[in-house]
Each structure stands twice: as C-alpha cells, then as structure tokens.
Amino acid sequence: MNTTNSDKMLIASKRKKAYSFILCLMSLLVLLSNCRRDTGIQTIILNKTTHNSYDRNNKQDLAENETFIYHSRPTKVSIIAADLEITGLRFRISLIDVNQDGYFDTPDMDMLVLSPYEQDSVAIDFDRINIGKLKKRNYIKVNRTWFCLLEIDSLGQQLRLVPLEKTPRDEIVAEYCTRWKPVAVTNTKGEATYLKRSGLSRKELILVSRMPPLDDSFLQLLEDNKEKWAASYDLTVLYMGGYDKAKTNALANTISFKFPAFFTVFSSCKVINCHANPPFAFLLDKNGSILKENMKREEIIRFLITQPG
C-alpha cells in the first residue's frame, strides 16, 4: 500500500499528540507521587476579593473586584481571592487579571498573591516574595509546605491545589510565611541585627514609621494612652530610611526612641512594604503569627486605644 505525504504527516501528527499525552500523564504521576498522603487535591472556590492597601488617592470608579496596582504606572486590574485552611495553615490566595481580558490564568502576565487569612486589604508590592507572575506550572510555598496549583480556572472561579511532600524542582511563583520572620535591621547603635518578635506572652505591634521626628505626634498619642494597651501589647518601631548616627544621638531622649527602635536596611523590603505610606503596622499574636499587616493609622488607634485587648 502506497503512503502519500499527507498520510505521513497525519501519522506523524498523531504520534506527536500521543507522545505529548504520555509525557503529560507521566508528569502528573510524578507530581501525584509527591503529594502529601494525608491531604488530597483540594478544589478552592474563589469567591472573595482583595484590594491594594496603598492609598494613592486615585479617584477613578472601581468595580467591587477591581483595584489598582502600581508598577511602572497605575494599572486597574481585576482580582479574586479565597481564604484557605489546609494542612494546619491559614492564608489567602488571590489571582490578578492584569490586562483585564477576563482570564486569570495567563502565564507571564497574570499574577498570584499570598497574604494573611481573611484580610481584604493588603499591600501589593512587587518587591516582596509573596507576589509573582503565573507560569505554565505553578508552585507556591507557605511556611515550610509547598503546594502545586494543578489547575486554575481561566475565569477565576476556582483552582485545584495539592500539598507536596517533596521540594519541587521548578521555581516557586510566590512564598508567604504566616509567622513573623526575623528582619535584617540596624539598631540605635548602628549595629547590624535582626528584628524578631519580643517572645513575651502578649500581642505585638511592629510599627513602621518615617524617619524621626516626622511621626512623633503619632508616637506621642500612643504614649499618652499607654495604660490602655501596654498590658496586652508590645510596641516596636521600625524606621524606614536607614540609620543616621547624628540624628539618632540628637533625638535619643525624645519620644522618637521612647519605644524599642530599629532602622531598615536594603533587604528589609523583602518582608515589609517599602513603598507604603508610613505609619503602618504588623499585628502579631503571642505566638508570632501575623494577624494583620499594613494596618493604617486609624486601625492602629482602634486596636491600641479604642478597643484594646
């Protein structure tokens, strides 16, 4: 039987599709072999939204699931999210439709954000490791657990996620720690150190402030009401801008250094929001878990003064 060129092309095409299917199947089997045996594939319904907490006074009207992100220019995006409780972890996962084409799964365009559980407003900061562009194969890491996003619904309605027992070979899209990680800083003596949680059995507020004395009036307000919150909270101040020996010595006995104080260094931006508008704060529970991040002035006052405890 004679075989025409078109027949040969058809046979080659079928073989190529068969090989592709076999490779995909093998990849899936390898992936499933790495899954945690105590937790199977989870289908997550994305029925919430997350807003960028950076206040840039943008007056444009936004739909309920829209926010602005700021990179090279302000960009209006659609964003949808879900709160997860899985393998003992609690966190939020958000998908960003960057070009607003109605699809949330475009590699190298759409983005993924990991953030605190049930927090509707978070800092979307491109310098931080909790945000990244989607890839053809997407892995995330929360604390010490890796997850694979097996499938993302193109319309952003749901995703399928599975915890892994082994570290994936591919680069992760985003990483998030539900607990406060030590941050490289400089102390008031100009010495390199790390800002860790206090270790005391109280909640802790880490206040990120502008260089002194710019936020002294706010610090004075907290000091004047200290009896309302000191029994329940510890307060540490982290100044953005780097250590300045002359200024620190000149203000050593002022309200600027009434509370334990540190200064940021370049790598601090991997943990805190270096592009946010201070003052803002991280709220930690007594075990060091992050309850809230990027709290604004009014929310800090509500926690420390209006509704302490």
- Domain layout of the chain by residue ranges: 42-176, 183-306
CA distance 52 to 79: 10
Sequence-distant (≥ 6) Cβ neighbours of residue 65 within 8 angstroms:
49, 78, 79, 80
| CATH H superfamily, domain 183-306 | Glutaredoxin (3.40.30.10)
User: In the structure, what pLDDT confidence band is assigned to residue 257 with cuts at 50, 70 and 90?
Assistant: very high
**196-209 exposure pattern, b = at least 16 Cβ within 10 A, e = fewer:** ebbeeebbbbbbbb
pTM for the complete prediction? Answer: 0.77
Q: Which residues pair with 139 in a beta bridge?
A: 148
pLDDT at 267 > cutoff 90 = no
pLDDT for position 294: 85
Region 74-101 average pLDDT: 93
pLDDT for position 18: 57
Cα 284 to Cα 91, 179, 289, distances in angstroms = 14, 8, 5
Q: Which residues pair with 51 in a beta bridge?
A: 121
Nearest CA to 255 out of 280, 224, 227 is that of: 224
Which secondary structure element, helix H or strand E, spans residue 303, and what is its range? none
| Alpha carbons within 13 A on the beta-carbon side of 22 | 6
pLDDT at 271 > cutoff 90 = no
pLDDT for position 37: 46
Cα 191 to Cα 77, 241, 244, 265, 270, distances in angstroms = 42, 15, 12, 11, 20
Q: How does pLDDT run across 26-69, given as a tens digit for each residue?
A: 555 544 455 444 457 889 999 999 988 875 555 567 888 888 88
Q: How does pLDDT run across 195-230, given as a tens digit for each residue?
A: 988 766 788 999 999 988 889 999 999 999 999 998
Task: Report whether 109 contacts 73 (CB < 8 A).
Answer: no
